[in-house]
Chain A
Amino acid sequence: MWGTTDVTVRFGPVTALESVTLTVEPGVVTAVVGGDGAGKSTLLRVIAGLVAPTEGRAARPPDRCIGFVPTGSGVFRDLTVAENVEFVAGAYGVALPSERVDDLLRRSGLSGFTDRLAGTLSGGERQKLALVTALLSEPLLLILDEPTTGIDPVSRMMLWRLMAATAARGAAVVFSTSYLDEAERAGVVMLLDRGRSLAYGTPDDLIRQVPGKVVTTDEPTDPARAWRHGARWRQWSPDGTLPGELVEARLEDVAIVAALAAGGGS
């Protein structure tokens, strides 16, 4: 099985990850959720073999079976779409032209742009190109660092669809995001905060395991444990004694509760 076991990473005095265990299973999309500085990139880079753990172990397939898409995509901006594909295909020994490559380009909405320089594509198009090139070698493990940040819903859906199709044909897929509505669609989710795992499991399990309860109210009695939901408030009651309308918690509420329980926020 691939992933990390009790991995700690220190960069000088900074602890980027602390004892994180994450399993990435074949046929499953795994989401790593957190804000800026949570340790998402470090975790993905450990899984990819690009950062060595200070402590603990990481397991992965051989390098040529890994597809890695770093933040901000990682395509060659001064090559065209077709040249980017040819270059990566050449590196992996994938014969072109190929029906599969044409299919990938079509499904990512890039068929019409093959002669465009990658540098002139929109962020969403570049991100899709990066994913297409990462898929050329048919990786067993696909790793994407914030593939959808700043990407509009239509491109995001195409990216999601390619990622899901990759998992459906048996690859392990792991990606990072700061958005819970996106993580909700993954098979397994890890909430990461300041280098530590706050919660880890299927979205349904995480929602079921919220300690105490989450209520909705117009007047929070404990502002430190309350947050907005539209014009109203939601409040976490750790011991479950708070009166108020019980809400059906979403993963977003779970993440807020987990951060509060870990003493987060200021």
Chain B
Amino acid sequence: MIEAVHLTKRFGDFTAVHDASLTVRAGEVVGLLGANGAGKTTLILMILGLLRPAEGTVRLFGEPPSRRSRARVGYVPQGLGLYSDLTVAENLEFGAAVFGIEALPLDPGLGPDGDRLIGTIPWGTRRRVSFAMALQHRPDLLILDEPTSGVDPLARARLWNQIRRAAEGGAAVLVSTHYMDEARQADRLVLMAAGDIIVEGTVAELIGDAVTAQVEAADWQGAFTALDEASLPVMLDGRRTRVPGGDRAVIENLLRSAGVAARTTEVPATLEEVMVLADGPG
């Protein structure tokens, strides 16, 4: 559905995306991860045909992006892309008219809000409207930019049901996200850093053999402070301190000189730690 090959995009001297290739097949949910500035949005805009790559080619459904391919894409932008001075029903009717289809009957969950202005309803409900809008023309490709930000866990699970249903109906899905709760829902992940796609695969494949040093100490405050002050990339995990990519010997030495009794073990890194390691030391 998406075939992006060797895409490069520069803005002046700045290379936003460098030699990125990405394929998303029908029925597949692919997660696009990376920090701000990693190139995720630029890549998405090139795939949508809204930005022209300096090098490389994009094919959507086997042809270059065009108005015709756009009609087969559902897109939920980060800002949701709704008209705040139209009602819920009017937004959906307008969206349907743009795609030349009949508006579907309102989802029962949205029914009571049909006549309310988008600008006056809670953010979570707006998000559901934006989803309904992106899905009503039964797109073959769904592109979602941080689709469930600010939504409670049950509502998020419900939105993911919709995404999965679209994929099971044959749609290809590309989701960009910062959040690991969301990343774990994808079949395959693509991690970008500084314009490059640096690794892709399942959660387990991305983590690979990356390890984190985990420090357990009765005086966790002492352990955390000692390692933090030594400028190690420390993360708190309950009462444990984690140092992604940290060298055990170095850590044990630091703790010994700080007089903190602790046990240090090596454990598999989390996906988030892998992302932080990929971006280098801040």
Shortest beta-carbon distance, B248 to chain A, in Å? 20
Asked if A1 is at the interface of the complex by the 8 Å CB criterion, the answer is no
Do A231 and B164 have beta carbons less than 8 Å apart?
yes
| B150-201 interface (Cβ within 8 A of A) | 150-158, 160-161, 163-164, 178-181, 184-187
Measured between beta carbons, the chain B residues less than 8 angstroms from A170 are 221
Q: Which of A33, A109, A230 contacts B282 (CB 8 A)?
A: A109
Do B124 and A37 have beta carbons less than 8 Å apart?
yes
Asked if B237 is at the interface of the complex by the 8 Å CB criterion, the answer is yes
Most buried by A among B161, B180, B234, B236: B236
* Interface residue total, chain A, C-beta cutoff 8 A: 55
* Interface range on chain B (Cβ under 8 Å from partner): 35 or more
Question: Which of these binds chain B: A53-61, A78-86, A157-165?
Answer: A157-165
Asked if A93 is at the interface of the complex by the 8 Å CB criterion, the answer is no
Shortest beta-carbon distance, A88 to chain B, in Å? 23
Measured between beta carbons, the chain A residues less than 8 angstroms from B239 are 187
Asked if A152 is at the interface of the complex by the 8 Å CB criterion, the answer is yes
Q: Kindly supply a per-residue 1/0 record for chain B positions 119-155, scoring 1 wherever the CB is within 8 Å of any chain A CB and 0 otherwise.
A: 0001110000000000000000000001001111111
Question: Which of these binds chain B: A15-23, A135-143, A252-260?
Answer: A252-260
Asked if A98 is at the interface of the complex by the 8 Å CB criterion, the answer is no
Measured between beta carbons, the chain B residues less than 8 angstroms from A165 are 224-225, 228
Asked if A228 is at the interface of the complex by the 8 Å CB criterion, the answer is yes
Shortest beta-carbon distance, B269 to chain A, in Å? 13
A residues near B (Cβ < 8 Å) are 27, 29, 33-38, 109, 122-124, 149-158, 160-161, 164-165, 167-170, 178-181, 184-187, 193, 202-204, 227-231, 252, 255-256, 259-260, 264-266
B residues near A (Cβ < 8 Å) are 29, 34-38, 108-109, 122-124, 146, 149-158, 160-161, 163-164, 178-181, 184-187, 220-222, 224-225, 228, 233-239, 272, 275-276, 279, 282
